Amino acid sequence: AIYRASPVFGDHTHIVLRNDDGILTTVGGNENNKIRVFANRQRNYTGLLGYGVTE
């Protein structure tokens, strides 16, 4: 997932682990010097530019 000016992530790239009915679970690094798994239960996708799918 690629974010730009997101209120949650700022400018950042995450790996999407799954999409459960619109709730994206992602993993991202360099967040307070940690790697974090995040489930966006509030579905706040302001700043989400998009994401790709591998086959």
What type of residue is 45? Y
Own/partner long-range contacts of 35-42 (Cβ < 8 Å, ≥24 apart): 38/14, 40/8
| Cβ neighbours of 3 (radius 10 Å) | 22
**Whole-prediction pTM:** 0.74
Averaged confidence pLDDT in the chain: 88
Task: Identify the band that residue 54 occupies on the pLDDT scale cut at 50, 70 and 90.
Answer: confident
Contacts (Cβ under 8 Å, ≥6 apart) of 36: 27, 28, 29
pLDDT tens digits, one per residue of 34-53:
999 999 999 888 889 988 87
Per-residue pLDDT at 30:
83
Residue 8 clears pLDDT 80, i.e. is over it = no
